[in-house]
Structure 1
Amino acid sequence: MTWLRALKDTARSGLRIERRRLEPLIALRGAVGLALVIGLSLALFDAATAASSAFGAFQAAIATFQRSWRPRPVLALISGGSLAASTFLGYLTGTGGTLAHHTAFLALLCLWTFLAGAAWAAGPTAGIIASSNVAIMLVTVTLPSSVAEAAGHAAMIAFGGLVQAALIVLFPVRRWGAQRDALADALAAEADYARRLRHDPVAPFDPVPLMTARSAAAVTPRQARRRPGELHGARGLAERIRPVLASLADPAVGASAEGPERDRVRELLAAAGTVLDAAARAIRTGGEVVIPAPALAALRTPDTGAILSGPPRRAAVRLVSLLDDVVETAGPSENAAPAEARSRPTLVRLAPLVVRAMAKELRRDGPVRRHAVRVTAVAAVGYLLGTALPFGHGYWCPMAAVMIMRPDFSQTYSRSVARFGGTLVGVALATGIVEAARPDTYLSAGLAVVCAFGMYLVMRTGYAASNVCVSAYVVFLLGMGGLQWNQTVPDRVVLTLLGGLLAMLGYALYPAWETPRLRNRLADWLSADGRYAAAVVDHYAHPGGASCPDVREALLAARDARVAWQDALTKATHEPVRHRGLSRAKADDAARSLAQLGRVAMLLEAHLPDRGATPVPAAAAFAEALRTATEEAARAVRERRVPSWDGVRGALERWEVADAPDPVVRKGAGMLLDTLEELTGALADEAPRARPESTARTV
């Protein structure tokens, strides 16, 4: 993609308004908390202190909107406390107006910004909160006039976070709502998958909803004692239902492509979709599971055993049993016990984990390290330029740059356009209101609260829309302290534009492109899929029953690698960088082959033998060959060589059909080799090599 096209695409992306479900009650709660803090500050202190406390309450409420599974009060307290500490330290180093004070504050700004950039290693929530704290600190350090006042301002900022946390506790809105939505989305995705399988027996499935639900299921010990019963076991059941659905529908290991078997399978899949949708609605709302009578009748039809036989019948029986468990688990229950305990570390235990994650990312030349260095340099240059230019509010330049910059190209450039466009519209609207109404201190405070409510309401619809409200909010908030619009608006518009340009220039000079890393991401996915498939096949040689922790671990690693590839490909699509041997067409073909590899392994996992079943010795040799070949193939992909599967093909040729009591594993082994050869064809830009005639049709 050329630079011109990349700039056009990112500009359109930045100005796009998305349709999202609004949450007015949560937005109202955040605005009420802000109003309480401003009103109390104005009553007890002065307008400058009220502005500081308002920033604390404003930012604390924003932190609670981030996609995090930690309790919202904790996020508000962390945001308010860290901003208070940043403000106080910033004032101590930056007061005095001498060169030494400017140098000390610049050093603190560089340290704080670098740490904020490195915080992205701990996740986007930590990165966003840390970056926002640095940006707001640049404003709040200018409000106090003495050390005692700075301490008071810091205390009121922390108090703002405390008020927001208290309101969340006292007036909860959809308690456990995020966790309910994550689990319901996973069940709804499987319901949609079941319906698509009726028409396309090999339909793809995106595992992201299941991964999100798994992340949401991790709780702290305190959360575990309060978690609703319906959130305990349904996720584990959803994980087990997905391979059963796929194995029932796929003609290779399930029912025949046409005839009575296929008709019965379609009935079961339709009923499964209905039951899963009903369970999703019950979990989302906290109500009872209501299943239509036709779906229940389809699942209870007694002639299933007469129509289906072998692997399809086993899959059908297993599906009905799992759906019964889902219905039982999804309904409200006070005494339900956790089916799968996943613990989330407390904040005390999380701190060393975050430090290790940051240190690990900073030791290598990855996106997080480059972002930390880049945002630090841009913030320092922006601060120096803002100080040198003949404006009275030079902090707007580094503030805008820090708020804009993200570890990837498309977000940084789209947010630059959105920030400037939103600022223009927001300050224009605020200026018109100020000129028409001439608000006093209290009316300015009220208008600031209204703008904050609008920002909380539309925050998830797009960065441009939220910036319109933020820009107006800042105009009214600073006007509350006596600053006229003509003292702040021109400065902010010019310096915001300069900050955006610095952010874009910084990324162009020191980028972290994903395009050159695509081959490594693809190789990681291939290696992870190979380990997963090998673990599954090996269990046919060493039957261990339903408990297969190694298979589960390999599956999760394969999912992580797949999502990492998808994220990297999405980012690379908008980058103005040459593909370097892995074109978009090749990447899509290779991704389809690896998705198919994972799907075949999932089909085999659905039919793992019970403990005590007859072993399949040839499966062990095939699994080892598969594991070795995929590791070597991953190295070949990284080195831009074409993978070879001679070892896997040889192991399959030595596998006699009589060695497999269950035909599923022998068929699956052949399907695995087919997908690997399709991958070779995709990467080699040629048709997949045909397998020898002696083995091509024996699976």
Structure 2
Amino acid sequence: MGWFRALKETARSGLTVERQRLEPLVALRGAAGLALVVGVSLALFGPVIAAGSAFGAFQAATAGFQRSWRPRPVLALLSGSSLAVSTFVGYVTVSHTVLFLVVLAVWTFAAGMCWAAGPTGGIIAASNVAIMLVTITLPTSVADAAVHGAVMALGGLVQAVLIVLFPVRRWGAQRDALADALAAEADYARRLRHDPTVHFDPVPLMTARSAAAVTPRQARRRPAELHGARGVAERLRPVLASLADPALGVPAEGLERAWVREMLAATGSVLDAAATAVRHGEPVRIAPTDLGVLRTPDNEVILVGPARRAADRLNVLLADVIDIAEGAGTRGPADHTGQARRRPGLLRMVPVVLAAMRRELHRRSPILRHAVRVSVVAAAGYLLGAALPFGHGYWAPMAAVMVMRPDFSQTYSRSVARFGGTVVGVALATGIVQAVRPGVTVAAGLAICCAFLLYMLVNTGYVVGQACVSAYVVFLLGMAGDDWAQTVPERVVLTLIGGLLAMVAYAVYPAWETPRLRSRLADWLTTDGRYAATVLDHYADPATADLEDVRSALLTTREARVAWQEALERARHEPVRHRGISRGAADDAQQALAQLGRVAMLLEAHLPARSADPLPGAAGLAEALRTATEQGAKAVRERRVPDWEPVRRVITAWDVPEEGPEAAPVPGPFVRSGAVLLLRALEDFSRALEGGADPDRRKNGSP
């Protein structure tokens, strides 16, 4: 899309306000911690120190709202302490302009690189730098700066203590992640009734897997209903698909299909009940009719072959889900390996984060480009704000640091939202000030009210949050002795300058996703091919095959698929023409690769036992598939159309069997049918890149 349309779409996105579930108790806890810190600081040290302590407590509470599976007290302590260090270092160097600019550039570069560790670390680091630009103006001496840093760290400690003493919905994020995964499986089961090849989004399962990783301390306190259910949900996905599939399961019409539809409907109801129980910590309530459909002896009469095996496996897995949701599965495995997933502690995360940063230190990395952009813009914004005759020049670099993100759409949408929110927040705060003329105590109370509104509405939209933050800063600085009269014009203009700097920096030094689309697509093709080949290896040699290899290949292809979809979504909002792959070709290729992964998953659903005999021909197909997809990925990156002749030759040899010792081994009908579907998906992929995919063959699905 062009620049005009891209700017219009990002502006609309930034100003969007959504209806979200509010958490008033969590907001009240954060505001109470802020009020406690401000009140004590006012009584003991005065308004200036109180303002510094308020920023520390405010930032610590805000960090607790970030999407993270780590304990909230840890995030609060980390945020408060890092802000304290930033403030002290910033104040010590701020009187030496050149030295401070170097420190600011290094600090913001490190904050930008923190995105390599994930969005939570990147957002907290960026917020600390932005707030530091304000807090370094409060102290009047080095000793005073040390006191400010100490009370900021104390503010983080107070918020952490309140989280421990007054927990709100303990393990709520993990419960929601697991419940969402079960609900996604339930919705998938119901949709399979109408479309046996319907698309399934693996993101809820991936989120639940991330949430299931716990530190040793968390593992000792995790509720019983959070043990093992995710692993069962993972195994449900291929079983449901294989039960409904007309090519490898039951026929498209007839008594078997009607019976499978009833089983899928009952499965959806059972999984929904389990999801509700996990989410709220309640008993599982299942209708007797649903259990009757699933456990009736008629299954053994109506269903035969692979469908019968899938139905039996489905009943076993659903029984496990019910037991775990009831809290009876306390000794159930947290993963298919039987081991709980371990998350390293905070100190052990330091080398992990540093390693992630080192991996991003290359020219094409969007994280490195973001770090360079934000450091240059922060320094330029600080110089520009200091040169302008407004005063409070820190609003320009603060706005820029807060809105800048590694991708185009978020940077531009947040720039617009930041300006709009600042105008509203500053105007309202100034109007209240002009009408009320608040003293120190009233100004502190108004700031706390703004913080409460922010915590309450934090998930409804960035523009709403920025209105609350802007008003909060105005009241807090007014409490510390700031001049109310200049509030509106200087802050609005400087915020506009900061947002424009951020937008110009991205346009001048971009990290467009569009040119990398072919590489992302090639990565997905490679991982899909390895996943299918690993499954076929298990058929070729069941005795020595490792299920962990299959699982690892599945997780890898899921990550590649999600990376492709996220890249495609970001590219669609970029003002860049496609380079080698059009939107239509990208959509068709995505459908073909999703079908390739889906067929591999169906084959995985019927993996033979270790005692089974090796299946002839599976090893040859696995090797041909692995080699062909690797070569095909190389062709995609080089803007060529892949050729699947090695895979086609193997399957053709099965159809025309030779005689004698050199004859190609022929597998059973189940694997032969799956192999044909794999080849068809690969051919659809090539036709998509040529721009001529057959619409009748486009199938949705995903591993």
TM-score scaled by structure 1?
0.96
Matched residues in 2 for 1:657 and 1:172: separation?
A: 68
* Superimposed CA distance per residue, residues 599-657 of structure 1 (whole angstroms, 9 cap, x where no aligned partner): 11110000011112121120100010000000000000000000000000001112259
Which amino acid in the other structure matches residue 683 of structure 1? L
Using the alignment, how far apart are the partners of 1:687 and 1:371 within structure 2? 37
Residue 254 of structure 1 is matched in structure 2 by 249
Distance 1:319 1:657, change over 3 A: farther
Map of 2:475 onto structure 1: 476
- Pairing 1:532–2:531 present: yes
Provide the alpha-carbon RMSD of the alignment.
Answer: 1.6
Answer yes or no: is 1:240 the counterpart of 2:235.
Answer: yes
User: Does residue 118 of structure 2 align to residue 118 of structure 1?
Assistant: no
Q: Residues 401 and 499 of structure 1 are in contact (CA less than 8 Å); yes or no, is this contact kept in structure 2?
A: yes
| Deviation at residue 513 of structure 1 after TM alignment | 0.1
Match of 2:367 in 1: 368
Residue of structure 1 equivalent to 2:343: 344
Is 2:687 the counterpart of 1:681? yes
Superposed CA deviations along residues 174-210 of structure 1, whole A, max 9, x for unmatched, are: 0000000000000000000000000111111000000
Residue number in structure 2 paired with 1:49: 49
Structure 1 residue runs of 4 or more that deviate by more than 6 Å after TM superposition:
688-691
Amino acid at match of 1:557: T
Equivalence for 1:652: 651
CA–CA distance in 2 between the matches of 1:319 and 1:65? 38
Give how far 1:546 is off: 9.4
Query: 1:394-414 deviations in whole A, cap 9, x for unaligned?
Result: 111101000010000000000
CA shift at 1:488, angstroms?
3.0
Equivalent position amino acid for 2:481 in 1: G
- State, as a whole percentage, how many aligned pairs show the same letter: 70
Note the C-alpha offset of 1:20: 1.4
Distance in 2 between the 1:212 and 1:419 partners?
29
Residues 28-75 of structure 1: per-residue CA shift (max 9 Å, x gap): 111111110100100100111111110011111111111111000000
Q: Structure 1 residues 333 and 38 mapped into 2: Cα distance closer, same or farther (>3 Å)?
A: farther
Alignment check: 8 A CA contact 1:247 1:253 kept: yes
CA distance in 1, matches of 2:655, 2:215: 51
- Cα distance change on mapping 1:334 and 1:81 into 2, 3 Å: farther
Structure-2 separation of matches of 1:660 and 1:609: 17
One-letter amino acid of the structure 2 residue matched with residue 386 of structure 1:
G
User: Which of 200, 205, 215 in structure 2 is aligned with 1:205?
Assistant: 200
Partners of 2:685 and 2:693 within 8 A in 1: no
Structure 2 unaligned runs (5+)?
658-664, 698-703
Q: Is 1:607–1:664's contact at 8 Å kept on the other side of the alignment?
A: no
Tell me, yes or no, if the aligned pair for 2:628 and 2:644 is still in contact at 8 Å: yes
**Alignment of 1:670 onto 2:641:** no
Deviation at 1:562, TM superposition (A): 0.4
1:47-126, aligned counterparts within 5 Å?
47-95=47-95, 101-126=96-121
Equivalent-residue separation in structure 2 for 1:168 and 1:259 (angstroms) = 57
Whole-angstrom CA distance in 2 between matches of 1:540 and 1:679: 25
Instruction: Determine helix, strand or coil for the equivalent of 1:244.
Output: helix
- Tell me how many residue pairs correspond in the alignment: 686
Give the corresponding residue for 2:20: 20
| Counterpart Cα distance in 2 of 1:333 and 1:241 | 19
Distance change in 2, residues 1:657/1:605 (3 Å): farther
Q: Does 1:451 align with 2:450?
A: yes
- TM superposition shift of 1:538: 1.6
The one-letter amino acid paired with 1:616 is L
Please, which of 311, 314, 333 is the counterpart of residue 319 of structure 1? 314
Verify the 8 A CA contact 1:186 1:213 in the aligned structure 2: yes
Residue type at the aligned position of 1:168: I
Specify which of 130, 153, 170 is matched with residue 175 of structure 1.
170
For the 8 Å contact 1:677–1:689, the answer to whether it is kept is no
Q: Is residue 230 from structure 1 mapped to residue 229 from structure 2 by the alignment?
A: no
Deviations 1:248-296 (A, max 9, x none): 0011011111111001101110111011001100100111111111101
The TM-score with structure 2 as length reference comes to 0.96
Partner letter of residue 674 of structure 1? R
- CA-to-partner distance for each residue in 1:329-365, whole Å, 9 max, x for gaps? 1113595454331000111111011011101101342
Task: Report the CA distance shift for 1:334/1:594 in structure 2 as closer, same or farther (over 3 A).
Answer: closer
Mapped contact 1:677–1:688 kept (Cα < 8 A): no
- 1:390 is matched with 389
Cα 1:156/1:689, change in 2 over 3 Å: closer
On the 8 A contact 1:424/1:493 being kept in 2, the answer is: yes
Q: Which amino acid aligns with 2:178?
A: L
Aligned partner of 1:193 among 176, 183, 188? 188
CA 1:172–1:564 in 2, change beyond 3 Å: closer, same or farther?
same
In structure 1, distance between residues paired with 2:54 and 2:112: 25
Task: Name 1:695's counterpart in structure 2.
Answer: none
Does the 8 A contact of 2:20 with 2:459 survive in 1? yes
What residue in structure 1 maps to residue 210 of structure 2? 215
**CA separation of 1:28 and 1:532: change in aligned 2, threshold 3 A:** same
Shifted more, 229-238 versus 332-341: the winner is 332-341
Counterpart amino acid of residue 218 in structure 1:
A
Change (3 A) 1:654 1:669: same
2:154 aligned residue: 159
Instruction: Map residues 684-695 of structure 1 onto 2, 5 A cutoff.
Output: 684-687=690-693
From the superposition, tell whether residues 687 and 124 of structure 1 become closer, same or farther in structure 2 (CA, over 3 Å).
closer
| Superposed displacement of residue 487, structure 1 | 3.1
After superposition, the Cα gap between the structure-2 partners of 1:302 and 1:563, relative to the gap in structure 1 and judged at 3 Å, is: same
Mark the CA change 1:394 to 1:642 in structure 2 (over 3 Å): closer, same or farther. same
Contact in 2 for aligned 1:448/1:472 (Cα 8 Å): yes
Aligned match of 1:694: none
Structure 1 residue 297 corresponds to structure 2 residue 292: yes
Counterpart amino acid of 2:279?
Answer: R
Unmatched 5+ stretches in structure 1: 96-100, 692-699
Q: Distance in 2 between matches of 1:27 and 1:114?
A: 31
CA contact (8 A) 1:519 1:582 kept: yes
Of 132, 136, 141, which aligns to 2:136? 141
Distance 2:256 2:668 in 1: 20
Distance 1:567 1:556, change over 3 A: same
CA distance in structure 1 between the partners assigned to 2:356 and 2:667 by the alignment: 47
